[in-house]
Amino acid sequence: MLTAKDSLNRLKEGNRRFADNIHENLADDATRRSELLSGQEPYAIILGCSDSRVPAEIIFGQGLGDLFVIRVAGNIVAPSQIGSVEFAAEMFGTRLVVVLGHSSCGAIKATIDDLKRPSGSRSKNISSIVDRIRPSIEGLLETELRNNEEDLLSKSVKANIRASVNQLKNGSSTLENLILNDGLLVIGAEYSLETGIVTFFEEN
């Protein structure tokens, strides 16, 4: 199994190829399916947004069996997402977790709109997503960013990614133990819809 550092470098290289429109010939799907019948060893766990424009395998230039992908609107962290990350990290020995947000995220926009103009018309299920994003960005609306929608959205996307990273790093004794003792790395990243480039928040 790859170390977190090697896994991160592999993701970066795959995204560089994608952004440069260089398409590698991945393993034949039928052959790869056969190889994976006995099990899987994904080298990275991606907790990403469900946005159809941000498919992790494609933007990182990876194929079958390479990534363990969890997708949910707004790349939020709820118990089921934590459990999925724990499962992959423990079961497969995967040592890299990336929380992947993206520019112009609709879930973030919806949360900003709700904070500015509260609406009681959302379903309780959509509200549960908005409510998980709200704490990470509501403070930004108390600054001058409130008057600049583009900057507010950009800063809110980043704040939400960092909040999700923090929840994974500090909201699970299983993940905390793997971070302390087994080299697990949990970091945030943002995908640009405009350029195709993923920027990693390596200070996390």
* Closest C-alpha to 81, from 48, 118, 125, 43: 48
pLDDT at residue 25 in the model: 62
Which pLDDT score, from 0 to 100, does residue 54 have?
98
Q: What pLDDT does 203 receive? A: 54
What is the set of domains in the chain, with CATH numbers? 4-201 (3.40.1050.10)
Quote the pLDDT of residue 26: 64
Instruction: Answer for the pair 165, 81: CB distance below 8 angstroms, yes or no.
Output: no
Instruction: Give pLDDT < 50 ranges for the chain.
Output: 204
- Going by their DSSP bridges, the two strands 96-102 and 185-191 should be labelled as parallel
Whole-angstrom CA distances from 118 to 76, 113, 152 are 20, 7, 17
Judged by DSSP in three states, 201 sits in strand
List Cβ neighbours of 93 (8 Å cut-off, separation of 6 or more).
Answer: 1, 41
Amino acid letter for position 71: R
In tens, the pLDDT along 80-133 reads 999 999 999 999 999 999 999 999 999 999 999 988 887 767 788 888 999 999
Q: Distance between CA atoms of 138 and 120, rounded to whole angstroms?
A: 18
**How many angstroms separate the Cα of 99 from the Cα of each of 56, 69, 137, 188?**
11, 10, 17, 5
pLDDT for res 204: 42
Tell whether the torsion through CA atoms of 67, 70, 76 and 77 is positive or negative: negative
For residues 187 and 98, the answer to whether their CB atoms sit within 8 Å is: yes
Per DSSP, the residues of 28-89 read PHHHHHHHGGG----SEEEEE---TT--HHHHTT--TTTEEEEE-GGG---HHHHHHHHHHH
CA 109 to chain centre: 17
